[in-house]
Structure formats: C-alpha cells, structure tokens
Amino acid sequence: MIDLTTFHTCLAQPNARGYDLDNKQKEAVEYSQGSLWLLAGPGSGKSEVLVTRTLKLLCVDNVKPRSILLTTFTQKAARNLEDRLASYLAGLQKADSSLLSVDLADIRIGTLHSLCNDILQEYRYEEYQNVRLLDQVEQDLFVYRYASIANYQDLNFWTQFAHTVPDWRSKDYCPGKWKRAKAAVTLFNHIVEDNIDVDKMLLAGGNWATLADFYQQYTQELRNKYRCDFAHLQGCFLKFLTSAAGKRFLEGDGENQPPLLYILVDEYQDTNPIQERIYLALANQTSHSITVVGDDDQALYRFRGGNVSCMVNFDKACIVALGKSPKKIQLDRNYRSHTNIVNFFNKYITSFPEMIVPGVRAPEKNPVKAASSISGNYPAVSWLERKKAGDLPNAVAGLIKDHLIGDGIISDLSQCVLLLRSAKDSPKNAGPYIQAFQQHNIPVYNPRSKSFMESEEVQCLLAALVQVVDIKHTFKDCKDPKGEPLSWVKTIQEWFQTLYNVKQNLNYSTSELFDYLNRSNLELPKLCASNKESVFLNLNLLEIIYRILALEPFKTWKKDPVKNLRLSKVSRLFDGYHSFKLDGLRSNTDRTGIEPDFLNRFYTMFVSYLIDARIDDDEDEEVIVPQGYLPIMTIHQSKGLEFPFVFVAQLGQKKEAGAAQILERDLEPFRQDIYSRSTRTPDLLAIEDDIRLLYVAYSRAQYGLILVGTQDHIKNHVAAPSRNTTEFRRNTILI
C-alpha cells in the first residue's frame, strides 16, 4: 500500500491520469466518514473522482476489491470506468510494486441490473434459479402472449390509462392488442420500480383494482414460466438482501468473500425508488459508506422510471434509513467549456421560476465556475436564425462545410455534433438535416435514425424468411374489421420489392439465396407430407435465419460493420421469439403446407411488432463517432459526451406530459416512500424535464454552442433563458 501524498503524486504523472485534482475533487476522494453526496456539475470530472476514490480505497486504505460495489447507468459507462481504473492502476503499480497484488477483476462493477443478476446467480438465491431474464423485446412478447391484460378490451379501463398507450389515434375504440401489451409493460414496470403497494391498489377499487389483478396475474405467469423482467429482477434482489444468503453477501463469508463495505453509485439522478431502497439496504452496515454521484440538473430518464427526487432528497433518505446526514460536496468547476458557454447554461438553469421551487433541485447549489483553458473573444454562444424553419438545415450544413471545415476551424466532421430531440429520419425530425448534409457532401453518423427496418439487408432477410415459410403469401389475406389489409401487409410487400431490386442488381451475387429459396419452396411441402407422426417439423424460424445468413449476398453484407450489426440484431430478435418455443414449424392438418395458425401468430405477434416497434440500430459501444462523419444525436445520447462545436435544433418543440409524469402523480397514493417527496402536476414535471434536457444539450460544447431556430421557436419557450426572447436575441450573436 502507498500513502495518500504518493498516491496523488503518482496519478498526476503522464503515465497515469496526467494532471492533479482540485481541492474539492480531492476532498471527495479522501472522505472516509460515511455517506457522501457528490453533486457534480457538467464537465466537473465526476468520473475521474469516482475512479480515483475507488483506487484510493484499494491502494491507500487496503480495502479488498470484493468489498467494493461500483454501479453506473450503462454497460458502456461501466466499461469506461473499468478502462480508467486499469490504466491508472498500471501507473501506480510502476511507482510501487506492492500494488501488483491488487486485482481489479474482483470489484463488483457494472449496471445495477447486471450486478443484481450476477449476485443472485452467484449465491444461488432460490427464487432466482433456472430463470430466463427477459430483455425489453422478450418482455413485450411475453405480455402479448401470456398476460391477460393484453386481451382486455374494456374502453373505460384503457381510457383511464390512455397516457400509457402508444399512438392511440381513435379513442372511441379500444386500442389494438399490441398497443395494450406495450401499455401494460409500462404500467407493470412502474408498479415495481415505483415501489407500489399492490394491496392498496386493490383496496382503491375500480380500474386500479383491475390493474392490480392483472399485475398479479402477470407476476404469477412469470413464475410459472420461469421468467423475470428487469424491473422484477430489482425487486427480487431487494428481497434477497433480507435472506440468509443476502446476509452472507453483505457481511461476508470467509476470506474469499469479505463483507461489502463501500458502495459507489454513478448517475444517481436517474435512480428510481426501488433502486434507492436497494442502495440504502446495501449501505445499511456499520460504516454506512455509500457514495452517490450525479447532477439533478441533468436528470433525463424519467421516461425509463428514473425519479430525480432520489438525488434531490438523498440527505432525507440517509437520515431515515441510515440515521445520519451525508457529507455534501459540490464539484462546481467546469473543465470543459469556454467561459461564455458556462455563463450561458448557468443562467439558463436558474432563470425559470419552475426550477427554484423547493424540492425541484438539490438545495444550496452553487453556480458552476469556468475552469477550462479555452479562451478567446469570439461568439462562443451564437444563434443561427432564419425566417423559415425549412431554411435551417441548409444554413447548418453551409456553416459546417464552408466555415468550420472550410476555414480550418475543425479538422474533422466528428468534432461537431447536431443535437435533436429525435434523430429519426423523418420530415419532422432529422430528415431535412440529413438531406441537407447529403447535398453538401457531408457524411452522417446517425444510429438512432429509426431506419433499421428500412435497410435493404434487414428487409431482404425478412422477405427471404417469409418466402420460405409462406410460399403462397397468405399474409396478403390478413384484414382488419373493415375488410382492409392490415397495416403491416403493405410493409411486407415492400420487403419483397427490396428483395427483387437486390436480385436485379448485378453487383450482388444473389444466386445462392434464390437457389435456396427455390429449393425450399419445393422441399417444404414434401417435408410436411412426410411428417406422419407429429405435426411439428424438426425446423424453426431461427434455424432458417441462420441458413439464409450463410448465403450471398448476406456473406458480403456481413463484411460491412454497420450491415453486420443490423443482421446480428435480427438474429437476436428472433432468438427472443424462439425462447417462447413458438417458432417451431407446424404442418397443417392435411400435410400440404404450414399451419395457418402458426403463420397468423408469426405475423400478428412478431412481424407486426418488428414493424411497429421503431427499432434502433445497435451502436458500436467502442466508437462514439467514426472519424470523417458528422454525428446526429438525440440529446439523451449526448449525455456524458463533449464536442468542440455543438448545434442544438428542434428548439420550438414543447414537451407534453406523458406516461412518466402522469404515473408519477397517479401512483403517489400507492407508493411506499420512506420520506416525503414534493408533489407537482404532470405539466410542471414535463416543463422541468424539458429544461433539464436543454441544459444537458447546452453544456456539451467546448468551444462553440450554436442554437438553431426561428424567432417563433424560442418565443415563450424554455429554449431561451427565462423564456425571454428579446433578451436572448439581444445578448446572443446572430449568425
């Protein structure tokens, strides 16, 4: 082990971190008296503090790695922390060989979900044995298939919970089964994550009691089918902590498993109530050593169940659960941005009356101080304005191509970013910007364009599969109650047109694929006819997918990284469907082809889901933005990132209260809170979320922040500080 002075000196060397920490950062690293409440503003080095505090425990305090649990919001963030820990430890080990025995592999590090799963498996917790953990797609499919609520068509019930129903256009008719299933997933997850007392819901009667009954039926089906969703994984883990096995985990069980002594939580502002309970239960040991790090002003994930009040009221939670107030330290020096940018977002977050109400922000927060080396008398914050919204995309493209690149201000397109509320490639979202960038020969990187299902490789793969199992194209006969073809019928026909276009393209060697399709269409009826003893054929959809992927043009497409990611994702989606054992091919009763019920279930349960779910491309988690490409990102994607130049558009859109805000209010009477939380209307919560969203966008830039819009976009809108359009335009450089 090494002393604290040597520890800091070594980490400041070029072969480790390369710089020293400031006084508040060091105070946070060195604090050792119990709970620590770390408020970390944008660009304040919270990840560095978290990593350094962890290394200090290992290398100075001689804490065993197995006694540390470190969680963060995403797997990508967890890997980033692991990489920094390994890099900095290597520098420390060069300075002191006694540290060579420190093994980072023994630290429990990851998302809370992954850690809960791993620990429950490690301790063989009885209620979590032989269970398949459902991902989001599998949970949706499970509810559609097994939850009674998906078949419930009471209009009064769904009207009360209309805010959870996606794209419900005609409120005079009950929403379709898939919409009911998706709404049910939202409701069920909130019941668990908001720590709801289901018995109170039952006593409330009416539609609340009906919902509680459906929830109990769903949880029973999960147990019957040996499944668990991510929300119930957390509930199971909380219960585990009170069991004998949980006691061994917390208090230790010999030399190989020392007691859990230190809990460090990143991005705590996006914690939900049941996660709050878990963290407090983990810390309820003698030392009460829990460190939570985050910024309530950057809370973005209410729509995923996050509740910013967990961060705002961490002191209340510690007093109730641990009997002592936490130490509060604010990291308030911004090492990222030009002074004018820091001043702008400082003024922004405090300029709205909604944000200074008690309980909305953490108490007694100071403004962030500019501390970067970036300086210069130039328009670091500017306003790109045009009279017509349709002229904005070309203005942005021209500024990037002719000024930033043309004048040598940036050397690569990846040094700037366009931030939008939605990056979907559609006329109302990113579509006009993508078109403008193409016209200016600016290549774009946009993995959240919602174009996954529009790509030729995905459409060809799905069309080929349909051609194998549905020779007669019976999907064309699927009609709605009015006798019109169902919406997804046209989409499947478009897939076949894409497949035909690829066949006509001489650049692809498609003979392998079409030879296979022809052979399959000849052989499948023969297989059905020869299948005398069972209605099941020894073949399933997932196996057919793998066979198709082994052929051209898919072999060539898989050499392209983006196309390969998409094809791999299709395989995973089908693996989820396969897990329900619904994709084994069945012959019809006269053994002449595939059973109609099998095809109908395949189309209505799975194909329609793929079409309606607006699936994103997978992102290469090792690459933020490829060199030579201009990134188009949602503001949520940009959280935790920084870019030299940031363009923020779609400013005029107003965030309406949705399921997350309404459920936070409606579920309050049933929530099992351990301290009082401030209550606000869904509309106020939506405004707060909108302000926080733009605060994150405005605090990403290092050298230049460019807001993009018309005068109408910022008129009486939270895009401008105080909603004061006149003052904003007077104090901001127009370009």
639-658 pLDDT per residue, tens: 989 999 999 999 988 778 99
* Residue 450 burial (CB count, 10 A): 20
Mean pLDDT, all residues of the chain: 92
For residue 535, the model assigns a pLDDT of 57
Tell me the binding residues for ATP. 40-47
Whether the pLDDT of residue 716 is over 70: the answer is: yes
Q: Which residue has the higher pLDDT, 536 or 80?
A: 80
Predicted confidence band at 14 (pLDDT cuts at 50, 70, 90)?
Answer: confident
- Mean pLDDT is lowest, of 160-169, 202-211, 692-701, for 160-169
The end-to-end CA distance of the chain, in Å, is 57
Average pLDDT estimate for 338-355: 97
Average pLDDT estimate for 143-148: 96
For residue 362, the model assigns a pLDDT of 96
Q: What is the four-CA torsion angle of 656, 660, 662, 664, rounded to 10 degrees?
A: -140
**Radius of gyration over alpha carbons of the chain, in Å?**
28
Sign for the pseudo-dihedral over CA of 91, 97, 98, 102? positive
For residue 623, the model assigns a pLDDT of 58
For residue 622, the model assigns a pLDDT of 57
For residue 525, the model assigns a pLDDT of 85
Predicted confidence band at 94 (pLDDT cuts at 50, 70, 90)?
Answer: confident
Q: In sequence order, what DSSP letters do the residues of 250-304 get, joined into one string? A: HH--SSSSPPP-EEEESSGGG--HHHHHHHHHHH-SSS--EEEEE-GGG---GGG
User: Which residue segments constitute the domains of the chain, with CATH numbers given?
Assistant: 4-122+237-331 (3.40.50.300), 132-225 (no CATH), 354-449+626-734 (3.40.50.300), 452-612 (no CATH)
Residue with tokens 């305090």, as numbered in its chain: 61
Phi, psi of 656 (to 5 degrees): -90, 155
Q: In sequence order, what DSSP letters do the residues of 680-711 get, joined into one string? A: --HHHHHHHHHHHHHHHHHTSEEEEEEEEE-H
Average pLDDT estimate for 78-106: 90
* Residue 727 burial (CB count, 10 A): 13
For residue 702, the model assigns a pLDDT of 98
Predicted confidence band at 135 (pLDDT cuts at 50, 70, 90)?
Answer: very high
For residue 537, the model assigns a pLDDT of 65
Task: Please tell me which of 206-220, 519-533, 611-625 the model is most confident about, judged by mean pLDDT.
Answer: 206-220
CA distances from 420 to 401, 427, 430, 649 (A): 19, 13, 7, 6
* Residue 669 burial (CB count, 10 A): 12
Predicted confidence band at 478 (pLDDT cuts at 50, 70, 90)?
Answer: confident
- Tokens for 499? 């497949």
Whether the pLDDT of residue 720 is over 80: the answer is: yes
| Residues 661 and 689 sit within 8 Å (Cβ to Cβ) | yes
- In sequence order, what are the residues at sequence separation of 6 or more whose Cβ sits closer than 8 angstroms to the Cβ of residue 343? 370
Predicted confidence band at 593 (pLDDT cuts at 50, 70, 90)?
Answer: confident
Whether the pLDDT of residue 580 is over 60: the answer is: yes
Percent of the chain with pLDDT over 70: 97
CA atoms of 638 and 9, how far apart (whole Å): 33
CA distances from 616 to 76, 315, 416, 424, 455 (A): 17, 38, 22, 9, 11
Whether the pLDDT of residue 134 is over 70: the answer is: yes
Phi, psi of 646 (to 5 degrees): -125, 125
pLDDT tens digits for range 427-470: 999 999 999 999 999 999 987 776 788 899 999 999 999 999 99
- The DSSP element (H or E) to which 636 belongs, if any, is helix 635-638
Amino acid at the residue 457:
E
- The DSSP element (H or E) to which 152 belongs, if any, is none
- In sequence order, what are the residues at sequence separation of 6 or more whose Cβ sits closer than 8 angstroms to the Cβ of residue 364? none
For residue 263, the model assigns a pLDDT of 96
Chain mean position to CA 576: 19
For residue 65, the model assigns a pLDDT of 94
CA atoms of 637 and 629, how far apart (whole Å): 16
Predicted confidence band at 634 (pLDDT cuts at 50, 70, 90)?
Answer: very high
CA atoms of 164 and 179, how far apart (whole Å): 9
pTM as predicted: 0.92
- Tokens for 103? 């093994």
Tell me the binding residues. 40-47
Secondary structure class of 353 (helix, strand, coil) = helix
Q: What is the four-CA torsion angle of 464, 466, 469, 470, rounded to 10 degrees?
A: -130
CA atoms of 215 and 196, how far apart (whole Å): 11
Phi, psi of 454 (to 5 degrees): -95, -10
Predicted confidence band at 136 (pLDDT cuts at 50, 70, 90)?
Answer: very high
Secondary structure class of 6 (helix, strand, coil) = helix
For residue 524, the model assigns a pLDDT of 86
Show contacts of 610-615: CB within 8 Å, 24+ apart: 610/453, 610/462, 610/573, 611/453, 611/487, 611/488, 611/491, 612/178, 612/488, 613/137, 613/140, 614/424, 614/450, 615/450, 615/452, 615/453, 615/569, 615/573
For residue 95, the model assigns a pLDDT of 83
pLDDT tens digits for range 313-338: 999 999 999 999 999 999 999 999 99
| Residues 31 and 288 sit within 8 Å (Cβ to Cβ) | no
For residue 98, the model assigns a pLDDT of 86
For residue 407, the model assigns a pLDDT of 95
